[in-house]
Amino acid sequence: MFNASTYLVDTHVESGDGDRTAVTGPGGTLTYSELLDRVQRMASGLRELGVRPEERVMISMPDSPDMLALILGAMRIGAVPVPVSTMMTARDLAGVLRDSRARVLAAGAEFAAVAEEAAESAPDLAVFALTGETPPRAPAWAQSHLLSKIAESDGAGDPYPTSPDSTALWLYTSGTTGLPKGAIHRHASIRSVCETYGARVLGIRPNDRCLSVPKLFFAYGIGNSCFFPLSAGASAVLEPARPTPAGIAERLLAERPTLFFGVPTFYAALLSAGLPTETFASVRQAVSAGEPLPAPIFRRFAERFGVEILDGIGATEALHIFVSNRPGEVRPGATGLPVPGYDVRIVDDSGADVPHGSPGHLMVRGDSIATGYWCRTEVTRRVFQGEWLRTGDTYVADEDGSLRFLGRSDDMIKAAGIWVSPSEVEARLLEHPGVAQAVVVAMPDGDGLDKPVAGIVRAEGSTVTEEEIIAFCRAELAAFKRPRAVLFLDSLPTTATGKIQRYVLRDALRERGFTP
């Protein structure tokens, strides 16, 4: 038997560390003993509602102790928590409800209108619960409950005898390439990421306090705010609000976290926000994932706040980071080395390994890889190839084995017959003081030939022009790499977790008839 819920919570109480702080933040503070009681009560409440092992419990809530207890409580009884983005529209939420055939929907009161509309299109839904004090308007075929009442249940009852291979949770892909897909993860996968990245790269300790910009519904976020701190007996700082530089700065100063997790776009926003240099004084290590961290952002952040950002790459399908730089050994602009416990390959289109210095498709294997996508046979066979996961990223390995990101395999640009890495052009754009954020995509010109086009968010107060941007790139980039046109944007199209949705920008440009 192995149950991730007991691994993360019960073990600390049983070893005498029940009085340590497990979770804190605006939603309240719980010790490990108090968290265990909340988890047991949530598990018992779900059982009383008739939730059975392997049935899905969909969760659309802001980060809070109740959300954490619900995720762990569902795992405890062998059910499958499915945390999803709180930024989904009713149509999106209805889609994943139907796709997952979830028996339970638990939503934050702030999202009641969206959840109620979505629930009407979910015929498998049996229980609908809201936080707050007003029960949801449930469809005729589902029960309506307050989550607080479910959590008041008697906490008695043993954990369900799950095995390491039992399904622990589903995580839907963030949709950077289209419709979300449910990645299925085992209980053992949670222990695996804690013992690999958490222990051997992050080096998390019991006295650490973790603050994550990505939320619990994201694979990156659930590792940062649940798996890693709880596995080590450390503390998670949960921020329920949508992240802004000012809000995160307030939480940093109030909670004094030692580990901070963000994404490149948010680090850029922090740099543009004019925050005091002491904002990150308590942080011993910052971490970035979601997309490669451009070297200029790494350098500017270190110079301003005195904190090193540890860049890495993970995937929803891998549960967390599997290639990373190491503390004190960061190579700016590079992703680093495989995390201990993972193997990587870089292959050509035929699946053969490519030599160092040649670009290819990144493949990874390790114990945390998902077992596949729910009800997506064709794409599962294409992405999960035996022990190996095809990440969809194009990488190159340097002579020392360090890996450098070149772009998503479907985002690479072939201009003038030569492959262009969007990340290389974006890194140059971000060196300009007038540029806060940048994204480069391919757009066909009047002859139907793909050319690089830049989407730019100006730095505050900047009036930089298209001509200045192109001239700046021309000074350092080969002619075929420089953007042929620049589009100024108020913000970049991103997922709720900060990943840039290049396909959204491309589609918007096509609809406008834009050509470089």
Q: What are phi and psi of 401, to 5 degrees?
A: 90, -10
CB 363 within 8 A of CB 344: yes
Q: Partners of 140 in the beta sheet?
A: none
Q: Please enumerate in sequence order all residues whose Cβ is within 8 A of that of 59, keeping only pairs 6 or more positions apart, or say none.
A: 67, 70, 71, 81, 82, 83, 84, 106, 107, 217
Q: How far apart are CA 501 and CA 177, in angstroms?
A: 7
Beta-carbon contacts of residue 55 (< 8 Å; ≥ 6 apart): 79, 80, 102, 103, 104
Question: In this predicted structure, what is the pLDDT of residue 241?
Answer: 95
In this prediction, residue 180 carries a pLDDT of 81
DSSP run (H or E) holding 43: helix 32-48
Separation between Cα atoms, residue 255 and residue 479, nearest integer Å:
48
Look at residue 391 and give its three-state secondary structure: strand
**Best CA proximity match to 39, nearest among 62, 20, 67, 17:** 67
Q: What is the pLDDT of residue 451?
A: 82
Token digits of residue 226: 């649940």
**Angle at which helices 245-255 and 264-272 cross, to 10°:** 90
Whole-angstrom distance, CA of residue 123 vs CA of residue 140 = 10
- Written as six digits, the tokens of 201 are 């790269």
Instruction: List the beta bridge partners of residue 311.
Output: 288
Query: Against a cut of 0.85, is the pTM above it?
Result: no
**Contact indicator for 71, 216 with CB cutoff of 8 Å:** yes
Burial 95-131 (b: 16+ CB within 10 A, else e): bbbebbebbbbbbbbbbbebbbebbeebeebbbbbbb
Q: Which of 312, 506, 310 minimizes the C-alpha distance to 404?
A: 312
Domains detected in the chain: 4-184 (3.40.50.980), 186-408 (3.40.50.12780), 413-511 (3.30.300.30)
Q: Which of 350, 346, 351 is nearest to 335 (CA)?
A: 346
Residue with tokens 């047991």: 40
What is the per-residue pLDDT for 444? 80
What's the distance, CA 74 to chain centroid? Answer: 21
Mean pLDDT score of the chain, rounded to an integer?
92
3-state secondary structure of 105: strand
User: Which residue in 30, 112, 107, 40 sits closest to 77, CA to CA?
Assistant: 40
Q: Which candidate, 431, 419, 441, 421, places its Cα nearest to that of 492?
A: 441
Look at residues 238, 237, 298 and name the one whose alpha carbon lies nearest to residue 264.
Answer: 298
Query: Which residues does the chain have with pLDDT short of 50?
Result: 176-177
Query: How many helices (H) and strands (E) in the chain?
Result: 17, 27
Residue 242 burial class via C-beta count within 10 angstroms: exposed 0-12, middle 13-18, buried 19 and up: exposed
Q: What angle do CA 460, 463, 467 make, to 5 degrees?
A: 135
